[in-house]
Amino acid sequence: MNRTVEKILGIVGFLMDGALAIFGIVGILLLNSGIDLLEGSIDPADFGMLSDLGSFLSIFIWIPIIGALISFTLGLIGVLQLKRNPKTAGGFFIAAAVLSSWLLLSGILFQSLLYLAAAIMCFVRKPTKTIEN
């Protein structure tokens, strides 16, 4: 059975997760380098609380990045399993959707909906029976 729609939804989903992880890592690197530049050019006594807040926030930015990386991995495994076993791929897509669903609530990305649609299609669509001679 041709599962092109599920494959496209899964690929778009894990590419969005990968992009989020890359942008998050670049953002953390820029945030950390910006704090160092800020402390070097301006008196740190004036902005000590801002520096502490930046380092505090950089710790919590890692949580969605790690979630996006795990969701990326689950989506990639789901796409790779799609041809062999669609039910297993649907399970991986649901796991990726659950893991990335908190991003939907923040309004940033909608890849959890893509994963969920691909998972539903994996479970609902029945393989077509071919007539053998």
Round to the nearest angstrom and report the end-to-end CA distance of the chain: 19
Question: How far apart, in whole angstroms, are the C-alpha atoms of residue 81 and residue 92?
Answer: 9
- Torsion angle defined by CA atoms of residues 6, 8, 12 and 18, in that order, rounded to the nearest 10 degrees: 80
pLDDT on residue 66: 86
Note the pTM of the prediction, 2 decimals.
0.76
pLDDT on residue 126: 78
pLDDT on residue 68: 86
Q: pLDDT by residue (tens digit) across 90-105?
A: 999 999 998 888 766 6
E-state strands within the chain:
none
Where are the chain's structural domains?
Answer: 4-124
Question: How far apart, in whole angstroms, are the C-alpha atoms of residue 15 and residue 20?
Answer: 9
Query: Is 49's pLDDT higher than 80?
Result: no
Comparing 127 with 13, the larger pLDDT belongs to 13
pLDDT on residue 108: 63
